[in-house]
Amino acid sequence: MSSAKTKARQCAVQALYQWQMTGTDLSTIARQFAEDQRLKNAQKSYFTDLFHGIPKDLDKIDFAMKDFIDRAVNDIDPVERAILRIGVYELLHKPETPYRVIINEGVELAKYFGADGSHRYVNGVLDKVAQIQRKLEIEAKLKKS
Q: Dump pLDDT digits (tens) for 31-86.
A: 999 888 889 999 999 999 999 999 999 999 999 999 999 999 999 999 999 999 99
Q: Dump pLDDT digits (tens) for 86-124.
A: 999 999 999 999 999 999 999 999 999 999 999 999 999
Q: Give the residue numbers spanning the domain of 112.
A: 4-144
Q: Which of 143, 99, 94 is nearest to 123 (CA)?
A: 99
Range 121-137 average pLDDT: 95
Q: Could you tell me the end-to-end alpha-carbon distance of the chain, in angstroms, rounded to an integer?
A: 31
Q: What is the CATH number of the domain that holds 82?
A: 1.10.940.10
Q: How far apart are CA 20 and CA 68, in angstroms?
A: 21
For residue 11, is pLDDT > 80?
A: yes
Angle between helices 78-93 and 99-113 (to 10 degrees): 170
Counted domains in the chain: 1
Q: In sequence order, what DSSP letters do the residues of 79-92 get, joined into one string?
A: HHHHHHHHHHHHHH
